[in-house]
């Protein structure tokens, strides 16, 4: 396969567009680095999971060097399915910050505490700020969404699934989560202002499911948000985090990820991916 990427002279710094390792699931972290290089992404976000490579500092550094893809962020194992990774909640964040420093990036993505983690949640914002200062990284708390049980909302996160109005210094905005929550992303990003540190580029239809669609195929104002941050001094990273699990034929996953990269660069005013050939 081959991909042609234009690289005209930029009129100033461009916003990097990286690939989340979650976007190639169920393939490996290794595959994420290889695909990112093939398609012309600017780096990789590593989601720490039960996969041994995602937890292995030396292996990640080797992959980064082999594929010439910097690691731009570490997604801490704060998902429901990664509760057994790296032990207690605060240890997950500390370990993720240590890994970020070792691989040379300055952003760690975390989810807010679950409602059953009341002690962890009690001083969450303060604790995150202290650990971020200790390791000199940005811990960007991600927007989530309410859980619905038999048509009724259930309290799933503390202090809240919505980071707006919370005492966080840095926030990650995820379009799919916003769609699931029924939130307007453009209004939310404008409200966050300079607290917006990190973006998970995807989309959702508002169906109530966390869909992680290709941007531009759902209800969120992805193009408008990218244009907004590009013109308002955003100095973080945009990370493609779409679901490619339904890819069935050779090259289909790469097509989806190339389309996402094209969308990002088009609306950020950056060099475009011109074509993908299988």
Q: Kindly state whether residue 4 falls inside one of the protein's structural domains.
A: no
Q: Kindly state whether residue 148 falls inside one of the protein's structural domains.
A: yes
Q: What per-residue confidence (pLDDT) applies to 188?
A: 98
Q: Please list, residue by residue across 90-106, b when 16 or more beta carbons sit within 10 angstroms of its beta carbon and e when fewer do.
A: eebbbbbbebbeebebb
**Which pLDDT band holds residue 12 (cuts at 50, 70, 90)?**
very low
Which secondary structure element, helix H or strand E, spans residue 267, and what is its range?
A: helix 252-268
Q: Kindly state whether residue 68 falls inside one of the protein's structural domains.
A: yes
Residue 38 sits in a domain whose CATH number is: 3.20.20.150
Q: What per-residue confidence (pLDDT) applies to 208?
A: 82
Task: Specify the number of domains making up the chain.
Answer: 1
Contact yes or no for 175/141 (Cβ under 8 A):
no
The three-class DSSP label of residue 124 is: helix
Note the residue count of the chain. Answer: 278
Q: What per-residue confidence (pLDDT) applies to 111?
A: 98
- Dihedral (C-alpha) 45, 134, 65, 243: value to the nearest 10 degrees? -10
Omega prior to 26 cis, within 30 of 0: yes
Closest CA to 21 of 45, 53, 51: 45
Max alpha carbon distance in the chain (Å)?
A: 54
Q: Could you tell me the pTM of the whole model? A: 0.91
Q: Kindly state whether residue 266 falls inside one of the protein's structural domains.
A: yes
- Integer Cα distance of 229 and 217 in angstroms: 20
Structural domain containing residue 247: 13-270
147-149 and 152-154 strand pairing: antiparallel
Q: Kindly state whether residue 57 falls inside one of the protein's structural domains.
A: yes
> Is the per-residue pLDDT at 195 higher than 70?
yes
Q: Kindly state whether residue 33 falls inside one of the protein's structural domains.
A: yes
Contact yes or no for 246/268 (Cβ under 8 A):
no
> How do residues 114-167 score in pLDDT, each as one tens digit?
999 999 999 999 999 999 999 999 999 999 999 887 767 778 999 999 999 999
**Which pLDDT band holds residue 264 (cuts at 50, 70, 90)?**
very high
- Integer Cα distance of 211 and 232 in angstroms: 28
User: What average pLDDT does the structure give for the chain?
Assistant: 92
Q: Kindly state whether residue 19 falls inside one of the protein's structural domains.
A: yes
Q: Kindly state whether residue 139 falls inside one of the protein's structural domains.
A: yes
2-5 and 196-201 strand pairing: unpaired
> How do residues 39-97 score in pLDDT, each as one tens digit?
999 999 999 999 999 999 999 999 999 999 999 999 999 999 899 999 999 999 999 99
> How do residues 82-123 score in pLDDT, each as one tens digit?
999 999 999 999 999 999 999 999 999 999 999 999 999 999
Closest CA to 168 of 146, 196, 147: 196
Percent of the chain with pLDDT over 90: 84
> Is the per-residue pLDDT at 214 higher than 80?
yes
């Amino acid at each position: 396969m081959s991909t042609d990427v234009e690289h005209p002279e930029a009129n100033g710094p461009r916003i990097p567009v990286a690939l989340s390792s979650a976007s190639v699931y169920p393939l490996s972290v290794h595959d994420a680095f290889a695909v990112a290089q093939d398609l012309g992404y600017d780096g990789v976000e590593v989601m720490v999971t039960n996969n041994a490579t995602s937890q292995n500092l030396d292996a990640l550094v080797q992959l980064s060097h082999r594929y010439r893809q910097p690691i731009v962020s570490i997604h801490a194992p704060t998902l429901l399915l990664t509760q057994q990774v790296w032990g207690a909640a605060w240890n997950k964040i500390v370990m993720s910050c240590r890994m970020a420093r070792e691989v040379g990036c300055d952003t760690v993505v975390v989810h807010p505490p679950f409602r059953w983690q009341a002690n962890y949640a009690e001083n969450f914002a303060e604790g995150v700020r202290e650990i971020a200062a200790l390791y000199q990284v940005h811990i960007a708390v991600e927007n989530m969404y309410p859980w619905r049980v038999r048509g009724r909302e259930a309290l799933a996160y503390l202090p809240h699934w919505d980071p707006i109005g919370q005492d966080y210094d840095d926030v990650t905005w995820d379009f799919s989560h916003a769609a699931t929550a029924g939130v307007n992303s453009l209004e939310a990003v404008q409200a966050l202002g300079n607290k917006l540190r990190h973006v998970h580029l995807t989309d959702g239809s508002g169906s109530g499911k966390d869909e992680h669609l290709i941007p531009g195929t759902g209800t969120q104002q992805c193009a408008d948000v990218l244009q907004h941050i590009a013109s308002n001094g955003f100095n973080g990273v945009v990370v493609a985090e779409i679901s490619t699990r339904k890819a069935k034929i050779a090259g289909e996953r790469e097509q989806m990820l190339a389309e996402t990269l094209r969308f990002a660069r088009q609306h950020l005013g950056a060099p475009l991916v011109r074509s993908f050939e299988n």
